[in-house]
Structures are given as C-alpha cells and as structure tokens.
C-alpha cells in the first residue's frame, strides 16, 4: 500500500523546509518536496539533498536498536565499551537513579557548575527533533551547555554577538529578494544557505544581480558568483577597511546616505578627549553639534541639524568605565564620524592590496561598484510603507567572522551598510534572527530603547559588584564575554572551546574545572566536530556518566555509559514553528507551524523523544514541573493564551500524541487568534498551518524610526567602556590571561596583522618555525553534509563525491608540482600540533599557499564513515588562548606543511 505523510527537514541551520515522505507497505521509501508548501515557502516547498538521505538514515542497518549499557568501565578510543543490550526500564532506571543522586547532592557542584550538562549539535537544530526534552531540562533546573560541538570554532561567532548588538542580527543576510550587489567574504551560501538561500540567490543572478566572492579558494558559492577574488587567508579586515577608506576618502561625501548617518547612527555624537562621548551633564545624554544653533545639544534635541564631521569646542561630561567622570569646559571634541574618517585614512586600497595579495584596483572597483549599486536616495514601497531601497550587502563567511579579526570584519561590514544607509532597509544588510535578545521568536519586538539613543542590549554586567565572577557554565561566558549575554542560548555561544580546554588543568583564578556528573549528548559528535579532537576525546572519556541519544555508534558515544535509541527524523512526532524571520535566509512572507508526522514505526526498540522525556521526568519526580514547562511552551508552543487553554493536567503522565495534539490545538489557536483549535488530525492532513507575515517586519528600520533609535555605529563607546571595566574586574581578581582579548574593545578597530598573530601564537605554543608550515589549511561547508550528522549514509557519500573536493585535501596544481605531488597521491598534512593524511585533489581554484579539507571527517568508529579515510582539519587545529578572541571564538584555520606519503 502506498501512502505519504507530511514532515520537515531541519537537519541544517538554514531550515526548516517542508517535505512529504512516501511510504510503501509501511516502509518509508522516498522523500519529495511539499507541493502544498509551494505558495508559502521561499524556496517553493523544496528540500535539499540532505533530506533525501533520511530514507537511508531511517532504514540504516547500523542503527542502534535497543538501549545499551557500557560494561567496560574504562573509556578511551582503544577500549571496547562492551555494549550490553538492556530494556528501556533498566536503562531509564539507571539514568534516573543517577539523576536522583545528583538532585540529592545538589544541582551545582563544589565549583558552582551544574552537575548535569548537555550538548546538542547543529546550531540549535536538534530542538526540532528532541520533542519535549527542552521541557524536561527546564524542569530539571541548571544545566551546563558549555561543552560545544563546534560553536565558537565552526560558527559565525563575531557575527552572532556583534550582529545581535548592532542590529538584532544573530545571523546576517542580504535582503536577497531585492539585493543587486553583494560582496561576499567567504560566505558559502550556496552550500550553507539552505534551499531558501540557493533559490533566492539564483533568482538574484537571474535578474542580473552581481556577487563578488572574496575567498582563498573557489567554493561552490565562488563558482556561482560573477567574480572571484582569491584573497590571502585571514586578511579580509584589510580589504574591508580599504572599502571603508574608499567610501570616506575617495568619493564625494554627498554620495553617502547623510540623513541616515545623521539620524540613524552615532556618527554625529561628539567624542571627548578620553574617547568617550561628551554628554549633557544634566541628562547625561551624548551631545551632538547643532549647526543651526552653533552649539552642542543632546542628540535627541528636536529640530537640531547635526554636524556630521568637524572639530568643535564644547563643554560637558565624559563618563568612562565604572562611572568615572570627567568634566570638560570648552574642550576640543570631534564627531564620531570625523574620528572614523581619520581612523581609516591609512587604510588605502594600495595598503590593503599588499596585505591581501589583491590588486588595489580590484578593491577600489569593488568599493565603487558597491556605492554605485547602493542607489542612495532611492525608496520603495513595502506593505504600503515607503522605505529606503539600498540593494547592496556584504556577507561574511565562517572563518572571516569568527576568531581574531571577526570584530574588525563585522564592524566594517555593518559600517559599510551604515555609510550608504543600507542597514535593515529593503535590499540591504539584514539580521534574520535573534538568540540573545528577547523575545526570541520576534526580532522586531526585540527592538527596545537602551542607553544613549541606541537599542538595549542584555550585556553581562562588568561593573563592580555586578560582574559575575564565576557563573554556572564551565567556560565562564558571563565572566569573560559581556556580549554573550545570558539567554538560554548564551552558554552555547560562549567560549565553548574553553570548556574543553579547561577540563585538564583549568584556568588560574577560576573555579576548579569539573566534569559533569551526567552529560546528555544528542545529534552531535564533538570528538570529530570540535578542534584538537584528541584532547576533546580525552575530556569526554573522563566524564563519569554520559547518556547518548544514539543513532549509530560514533566517536563520542564510544565513551558513553548508556546509549538510548530514539526515533530518528522520520519516526518521531513533533510540531515546530516555521516562517517569519529565522536563521540565515529563512525570512518568509508567512509564519506558522509544521508537523513531523511519523512515516514509520520505530526501528527496533527506538522510542519517541517525547516519550523518553516524559519517562525521565517521571523517574526523577519532576512530572509536574515538566508538564508545567510544556504548558509554558518550553517545547515550542505555549499551550494557553488569551481566550484559549489547551494545557495539560500537570500531575498526570501524558502520551506522546496527547501532548502534541494539545500543542497542535494551541498552535491553531495562536495562529487564528483563538478561533481555530484544530489538533493533530488537522496537521496530519495539511502538514502545516500558516498566516501571513508582513514583509515590513523583515526590516528593523521602521521600528528604529518609530522609536527614534540609532544603530550603534560607527563608534563603539559602549564597548570601550565595558572592555575597560572587564579588564579592571579581571585584574582585581588577578586574571591576566585574558589581557590580549581585552584589546579587542576598541571604539574604532585598528588593523592587526592576523597572519602574523597566528604565526606567533603557533611558534610560541609549539616551539616551531612557522616557515616550516607554509600552507594555510582551511575548511568549507558542504551542502551534502553540513550539520546533517549524515556521514554514515551511503547515498550522501555517493552523491557528494560528484562535487569536487570531498574526501581529500584540495591543493593548487602548481603548489603540488613543487612538492612532486600528483592527483590522488596520499600526502601527510602536518600542523604544529598534529598530523593527518589524505589524498591530494588538485584544483586550479585555490591559492597556491592554501589547502582545503571540506567538511568534518576523520571518523574511526562511525559505521561506514570510518572506512572512508577522509581527512579533517579538526585534529590539526589547536585550541589556544592566544588564538581566542574577545568573544571567545577561534577562527577555523591553521598553518600546515605537506609531505608525500602517509596512511593510504
């Protein structure tokens, strides 16, 4: 019998996308796009290649089919865990006993860290597969999420933090449906932008939009761009500073968006001699120079005509760190914009060209093209509202926007948008989601006034008495990273590699590092996906009790104590939010909910995650709190609202379908303002339910205008202040190992020699001569694999092989010839800290000083994948404090050398 069910694919951060699963005789046999979603989904209801891997994923003979207990207490790569199949009762009994013991001891350990920790992979996507587990965690209490699976080292970290700070942009995106010119610094949107990204950029190309791809290797996205500029690795800030230089020093000022600069940015704010704003002593508001009155007035003075540039003499109050105050009388002050102009004066295209190994004329042309396409002054109508139209944007890739240099790049990118008024307006640079600000599901509503005419931002406090000396996370995100805030996402966005690094000897003057008593791990494999994987592996092996929700055996759950087989993507039941404005390119004209309807009975003894969560809640005596958390919407939908209440009875155990039926009813009510209350059956029939999402909500501009707010650019007075305060707090505690990071808190970032910084850090850490490591080793995302946890799927492996670069190390043929390396030769790749080997793949589309290893492999346990011998840069990349930036992230690159020979 042939049937089909509705489902979604949220295997990567660029989802979710909607699909149908075809079933024959009870067996899921095929995936196809959701034709029904064609009208509401930006990519016409399509799903990408990864979704098609789900049939094999579901039916994979290598799946874990029963709960398993470890019988060998010794843990390590070389140890056989001695897995013993057990019943669910036994497995859950054991876990609950452990958890109850933890509750008895106290939820925090002697160092103040949560005794229970959890790690989830894929940029938050696991929540779309873990049913009500978030409600269990919420019921539990403090859970440490600081053991990263790749966050901070594989994500767009500076973009996340500074993006949220400047324009509620945890992820930043061009307004692709309208954009005409994009400068993309290594952003690999055709591999990692999901189907919405791919479709929208294809449409953009079709209407003649131009994208210039600036990156050391010709990625899939480079291939799809009008032009490729092969820049020297990690020199992007120089290129971008030169773009700013051209706009400020080589074109007429009037070509910039002067009204935007004056009214929507901090450009006219006056900066006093210590680098802080000159303020009105009474209101403590920053001052601007009013050309009408010929005097300094508070920035929000009605009818003022702000001077954009110039030096003035003015009086007022300057407020420094920890409320230090300086009174100035007739002191020399400059506008922030004037300081910016001065600041970027040395950063000419000629200067940058040398650094970037790119002709100065190329940089200059890109800057002029950007300006030409910006159409300063143009407007468009959106939802009946007139808005500026600025169809230019800059995108940043992962290795550009994490680690050192990330601040410079994200600042320059956002500034480039501000200079032409292209920030948060149609056609320009947009944020698409918030994770640190609240409400999490509504970027627009998160725009609330903060100090000095800017948006509010929930910084971790740095003032004396408020600073969190040691917070409940093993990477000290509240202690070290003010910008990381303290939302439920903040732990995952803190300096996650510090949690792994410190598992050994810890950090001076911070609480003793402890392994968590219980570690839950789901849809992540940090023993492969993090850096310095050997070290991560050792740390995991040292965790006393690990519960892995396991699909197959893998390198991380090899060290686990209990394996729990959960219903995978096509077997579990769940309802999630879709549309509105979400990750990456997922900003829709609709919003609502979609159902993941089971397409098959669970294989073996696999259980629905919601069932597992309920049993854990029951077994730990938390059922009431768990149900309350569900009612509050911890699993995605609040079950009650104005005029409706589909709450679950708190004291009772509820079945999986019962929980999701109530959730569906609440979702229907939410979408219809309480009119409809359709449950599971409705969603089973239709797959999803949506209502329109106003396009005007894609842009923050109207909200900023309405509230009279300014974007906090170009000058970073607030960051300068909190940096100074943070430094003071750390020094008071005797911590000096974060001093290098404190230098990032510059009001206007200076160029720093990043290649030199890497060289120095590696030379110092490993006592090597960096000249012996002449190549930069980079990685790139692969649409077939990224975030998918799908290395064990044969079909994915097969079709990915059609895309050049998978499974080996990509080299430039000239560089290879110099080493006597030919296509297919096995080569050793050695970094100062480790080595790996793989087959040489020769391509012209890569700089001769650069190597590339796509994706994350090097598997030694995962069935099927372990046989591939595909190299990965993760083992070669060290975790070093010297290479950790102020946001707590590191850039995903390392210096290596290549030798012929090695493991075949």
* Residue closer to other proteins, measured from CB, 189 or 447: 189
Q: How far is CA 215 from CA 50, 392, 780, in A?
A: 25, 19, 11
Rounded to the nearest whole angstrom, what is the least distance from the CB of residue 658 to other proteins in the complex?
29
Rounded to the nearest whole angstrom, what is the least distance from the CB of residue 653 to other proteins in the complex?
32
Binding segment for other proteins (CB under 8 A), chosen from 239-247, 405-413, 449-457, 797-805, is 797-805
Which residues, numbered 819-838, are part of the site for other proteins (CB under 8 A)? 823
Q: How far is CA 871 from CA 131, 214, 657, 843, 903, in A?
A: 34, 25, 43, 17, 11
Rounded to the nearest whole angstrom, what is the least distance from the CB of residue 204 to other proteins in the complex?
7
Phi, psi values for residue 28, rounded to 5°: -65, 125
Rounded to the nearest whole angstrom, what is the least distance from the CB of residue 455 to other proteins in the complex?
34
Binding segment for other proteins (CB under 8 A), chosen from 50-58, 266-274, 323-331, 468-476, is 50-58
- Site for other proteins (CB under 8 A): which residue of 69, 742, 757, 795? 795
Rounded to the nearest whole angstrom, what is the least distance from the CB of residue 841 to other proteins in the complex?
6
- Site for other proteins (CB under 8 A): which residue of 272, 417, 846, 896? 846
- Site for other proteins (CB under 8 A): which residue of 93, 124, 461, 813? 813
- Site for other proteins (CB under 8 A): which residue of 314, 485, 841, 865? 841
Q: Please check whether residue 800 is in contact with residue 873, taking contact to mean a CB–CB distance below 8 angstroms.
A: no
Compute the chain's Rg from CA coordinates: 27
Q: Does 55 bind other proteins (CB under 8 A)?
A: yes
Q: Does 32 bind other proteins (CB under 8 A)?
A: yes
Which residues, numbered 87-146, are part of the site for other proteins (CB under 8 A)? none
Beta sheet of 68-69, edge-to-edge order: 84-85, 68-69, 562-564, 546-549, 518-522, 116-120
E-strand spans in 199-310? 210-214, 227-229, 270-271, 278-279, 287-290, 295-298
* Residue closer to other proteins, measured from CB, 139 or 570: 570
Q: Does 881 bind other proteins (CB under 8 A)?
A: no
Using CB atoms within 10 Å of the CB of residue 327, give its burial: 0 to 12 exposed, 13 to 18 middle, 19+ buried.
exposed
What distance in Å separates the CA atoms of residue 311 and residue 297, rounded to the nearest whole number? 15
Which residues, numbered 472-511, are part of the site for other proteins (CB under 8 A)? none
Q: Does 9 bind other proteins (CB under 8 A)?
A: no
* Residue closer to other proteins, measured from CB, 112 or 813: 813
Site string for other proteins, 173-212 (x = CB under 8 A): -----------------x----x--xx--xxxxx-xxxx-
Question: Residue 389: CB partners within 8 Å, gap ≥ 6?
Answer: 178, 375, 378, 379, 380, 425, 426, 427
Taking residue 756's Cβ as centre, other Cβ atoms within 10 Å add up to: 10
Q: Please check whether residue 437 is in contact with residue 164, taking contact to mean a CB–CB distance below 8 angstroms.
A: yes
What is the DSSP track for 458-489? -PPP-STTTS-SS-SSTT-HHHH-GGG-SSTT
Q: Does 799 bind other proteins (CB under 8 A)?
A: yes
Which residues, numbered 726-785, are part of the site for other proteins (CB under 8 A)? 783-784
What is the total count of residues that contact other proteins (CB under 8 A)?
73
* Residue closer to other proteins, measured from CB, 29 or 881: 29
Q: Does 864 bind other proteins (CB under 8 A)?
A: yes
Q: Does 361 bind other proteins (CB under 8 A)?
A: no
Q: Does 53 bind other proteins (CB under 8 A)?
A: yes
Q: Does 551 bind other proteins (CB under 8 A)?
A: no
Rounded to the nearest whole angstrom, what is the least distance from the CB of residue 35 to other proteins in the complex?
5
What distance in Å separates the CA atoms of residue 575 and residue 738, rounded to the nearest whole number? 43
Q: Does 39 bind other proteins (CB under 8 A)?
A: no
- Site for other proteins (CB under 8 A): which residue of 35, 325, 649, 652? 35
Q: Which residue has the tokens 């001699």?
A: 273
* Residue closer to other proteins, measured from CB, 28 or 482: 28
Rounded to the nearest whole angstrom, what is the least distance from the CB of residue 423 to other proteins in the complex?
23
* Residue closer to other proteins, measured from CB, 401 or 812: 812
What distance in Å separates the CA atoms of residue 759 and residue 762, rounded to the nearest whole number? 5
**Quick one: tokens of 246?**
């051209």
**Quick one: tokens of 87?**
């019943």
* Residue closer to other proteins, measured from CB, 214 or 341: 214
What distance in Å separates the CA atoms of residue 649 and residue 629, rounded to the nearest whole number? 12
Q: Which residue has the tokens 């995100």?
A: 477
Q: Does 870 bind other proteins (CB under 8 A)?
A: no
Q: Does 218 bind other proteins (CB under 8 A)?
A: yes
Q: Does 222 bind other proteins (CB under 8 A)?
A: yes
114: three-class secondary structure by DSSP = strand
Question: Residue 434: CB partners within 8 Å, gap ≥ 6?
Answer: 164, 168, 170, 440, 442, 443, 446
Taking residue 653's Cβ as centre, other Cβ atoms within 10 Å add up to: 14
DSSP annotation of 303: T
Q: Does 59 bind other proteins (CB under 8 A)?
A: yes
* Residue closer to other proteins, measured from CB, 53 or 421: 53
Binding segment for other proteins (CB under 8 A), chosen from 31-39, 302-310, 345-353, 610-618, is 31-39
Angle CA 331–335–341, to nearest 5: 125
SS (H, E, C) 742-806: HCCCCCCCCCCCHHHHHHHHHHHHHCCCHHHCCEEEEEECCCCCCCCCCCCCHHHHHHHCCCCCC
Q: Does 33 bind other proteins (CB under 8 A)?
A: yes
Using CB atoms within 10 Å of the CB of residue 559, give its burial: 0 to 12 exposed, 13 to 18 middle, 19+ buried.
buried
* Residue closer to other proteins, measured from CB, 502 or 864: 864
* Residue closer to other proteins, measured from CB, 153 or 578: 578
Pick the closest to residue 671 from 572, 573, 579, 574 (CA basis).
Answer: 579
Q: Does 659 bind other proteins (CB under 8 A)?
A: no
Rounded to the nearest whole angstrom, what is the least distance from the CB of residue 536 to other proteins in the complex?
28
Q: Please check whether residue 687 is in contact with residue 18, taking contact to mean a CB–CB distance below 8 angstroms.
A: yes
Rounded to the nearest whole angstrom, what is the least distance from the CB of residue 234 to other proteins in the complex?
18
Q: Does 18 bind other proteins (CB under 8 A)?
A: no
* Residue closer to other proteins, measured from CB, 35 or 675: 35
Site string for other proteins, 669-708 (x = CB under 8 A): ----------------------------------------
* Residue closer to other proteins, measured from CB, 10 or 411: 10
Q: Does 640 bind other proteins (CB under 8 A)?
A: no
Binding segment for other proteins (CB under 8 A), chosen from 415-423, 489-497, 670-678, 841-849, is 841-849
Q: Does 845 bind other proteins (CB under 8 A)?
A: yes
- Site for other proteins (CB under 8 A): which residue of 29, 69, 258, 882? 29
**Quick one: tokens of 198?**
């791919």
- Site for other proteins (CB under 8 A): which residue of 13, 14, 47, 666? 47
Dihedral of CA atoms 604, 609, 615, 620 in degrees, nearest 10, equals 130
Q: What size, in residues, is the chain?
A: 904
Rounded to the nearest whole angstrom, what is the least distance from the CB of residue 479 to other proteins in the complex?
42
Q: Which residue has the tokens 């591939």?
A: 868
* Residue closer to other proteins, measured from CB, 716 or 779: 779
What distance in Å separates the CA atoms of residue 283 and residue 269, rounded to the nearest whole number? 15
Q: Does 812 bind other proteins (CB under 8 A)?
A: yes
Q: Does 227 bind other proteins (CB under 8 A)?
A: yes
459-489 burial by CB neighbour count: b if 16+ within 10 A, else e?
A: bbbbeeeebbbebbbbbbbbbbbbbbbbbbb
Q: Does 228 bind other proteins (CB under 8 A)?
A: yes
* Residue closer to other proteins, measured from CB, 63 or 413: 63
């Amino acid at each position: 019998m042939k049937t089909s069910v509705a489902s979604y694919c949220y295997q990567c951060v660029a989802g979710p996308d909607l699909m149908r699963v075809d079933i024959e005789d009870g067996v899921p046999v095929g995936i196809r796009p959701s034709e029904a979603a064609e009208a509401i989904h930006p990519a016409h209801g399509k799903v990408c290649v990864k979704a098609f891997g789900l049939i094999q994923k579901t039916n994979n003979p290598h799946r874990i089919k029963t709960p398993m207990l470890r019988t060998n207490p010794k843990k390590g790569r070389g140890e056989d865990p001695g897995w013993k199949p057990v019943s669910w009762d036994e497995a859950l009994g054991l876990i609950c006993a452990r958890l109850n013991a933890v509750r008895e001891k106290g939820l925090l350990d002697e160092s103040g860290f949560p005794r229970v920790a959890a790690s989830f992979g894929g940029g938050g996507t696991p929540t779309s597969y873990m049913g009500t587990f978030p409600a269990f965690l919420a019921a539990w209490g403090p859970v440490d999420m600081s053991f990263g699976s790749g966050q901070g080292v594989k994500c767009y970290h500076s973009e996340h933090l500074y993006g949220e700070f400047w324009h509620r942009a945890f992820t930043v995106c061009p307004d692709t449906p309208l954009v005409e010119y994009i400068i993309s610094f290594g952003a690999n949107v055709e591999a990692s932008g999901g189907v919405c990204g791919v479709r929208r950029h294809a449409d953009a190309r079709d209407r003649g939009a131009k994208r210039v791809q600036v990156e050391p290797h010709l990625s899939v996205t480079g291939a799809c761009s009008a032009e490729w500029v092969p820049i020297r690795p990690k020199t992007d800030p120089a290129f971008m500073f030169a773009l700013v230089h051209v706009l400020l020093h080589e074109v007429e000022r009037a070509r910039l968006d002067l009204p935007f600069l004056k009214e929507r940015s901090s450009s006219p704010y006056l900066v006093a001699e210590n680098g802080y704003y000159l303020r009105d002593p009474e209101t403590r508001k920053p001052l601007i120079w009013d050309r009408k009155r010929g005097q300094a007035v508070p920035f929000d003075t009605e009818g003022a005509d702000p001077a954009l540039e110039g030096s003035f003499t003015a009086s007022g109050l300057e407020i420094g760190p920890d409320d230090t105050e300086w009174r100035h009388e007739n002191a020399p002050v400059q506008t922030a914009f004037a300081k910016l102009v001065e600041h970027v004066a040395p950063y000419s295209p000629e200067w940058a060209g040398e650094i970037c190994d790119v002709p100065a004329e190329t940089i200059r042309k890109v800057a002029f093209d950007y300006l030409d396409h910006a159409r300063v002054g143009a407007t468009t109508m959106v939802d009946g509202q007139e808005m500026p139209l600025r169809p230019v944007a800059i995108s940043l890739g992962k290795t550009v926007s994490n680690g050192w240099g990330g601040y410079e790049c994200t600042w320059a990118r956002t500034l480039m948008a501000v200079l032409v008024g292209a920030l948060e307006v149609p056609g320009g640079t947009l944020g698409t989601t918030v994770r640190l600000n609240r409400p999490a599901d509504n970027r627009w509503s998160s725009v609330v006034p903060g100090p000095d005419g800017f948006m509010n931002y929930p910084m971790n406090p740095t003032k004396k008495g408020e600073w969190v000396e040691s917070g409940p996370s093993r990477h000290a995100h509240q202690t070290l990273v003010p910008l990381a805030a303290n939302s439920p996402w903040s732990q995952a966005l803190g300096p996650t590699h510090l949690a792994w690094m410190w598992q050994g000897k810890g950090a001076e003057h911070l609480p003793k590092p402890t392994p968590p008593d219980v570690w839950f791990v789901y849809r992540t494999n940090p023993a492969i996906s993090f850096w310095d994987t050997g070290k991560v592996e050792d740390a995991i092996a040292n965790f006393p009790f690990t519960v892995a929700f396991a699909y197959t055996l893998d390198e991380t759950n090899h060290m686990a104590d209990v394996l729990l087989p959960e219903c995978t993507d096509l077997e579990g039941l769940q309802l999630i939010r879709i549309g509105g404005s979400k990750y990456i390119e997922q900003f829709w004209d609709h919003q609502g909910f979609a159902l993941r309807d089971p397409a098959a009975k669970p294989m073996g003894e696999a259980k629905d995650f919601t069932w597992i969560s309920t049993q854990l809640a029951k077994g730990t005596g938390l059922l009431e709190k768990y149900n309350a958390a569900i009612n509050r919407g911890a699993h995605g939908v609040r079950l009650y609202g104005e005029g409706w209440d589909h709450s679950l009875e708190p004291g009772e155990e509820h079945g999986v379908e019962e929980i999701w039926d109530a959730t569906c009813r609440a979702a229907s009510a939410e979408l219809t303002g309480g009119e409809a209350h359709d449950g599971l059956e409705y969603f089973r029939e239709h797959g999803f339910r949506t209502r329109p999402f106003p396009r005007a909500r894609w842009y923050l501009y109207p909200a900023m205008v309405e509230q009279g707010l300014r974007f906090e650019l170009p000058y970073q007075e607030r960051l300068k202040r909190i940096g100074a305060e943070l430094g003071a707090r750390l020094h008071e505690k005797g911590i000096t190992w974060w001093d290098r990071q404190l230098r990032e808190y510059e009001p206007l970032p200076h160029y720093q020699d990043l290649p030199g910084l890497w060289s120095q850090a590696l030379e110092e850490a490993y006592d090597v001569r960096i000249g012996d490591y002449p190549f930069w080793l980079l990685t790139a995302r692969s649409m077939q694999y990224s975030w998918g946890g799908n290395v064990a799927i044969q079909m994915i492996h097969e079709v990915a092989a059609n895309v050049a670069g998978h499974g080996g190390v990509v080299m430039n043929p000239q560089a290879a010839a110099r080493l006597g390396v030919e296509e297919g030769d096995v080569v050793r790749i050695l970094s100062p800290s480790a080595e790996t080997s793989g087959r040489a793949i020769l391509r012209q589309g890569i700089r001769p000083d650069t190597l590339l290893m796509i994706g994350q492999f090097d598997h030694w346990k995962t069935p099927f994948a372990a046989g591939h011998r595909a190299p990965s840069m993760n083992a070669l990349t060290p975790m070093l404090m010297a290479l950790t930036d102020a946001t707590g992230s590191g850039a995903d690159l390392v210096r290596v050398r290549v030798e012929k020979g090695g493991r075949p």
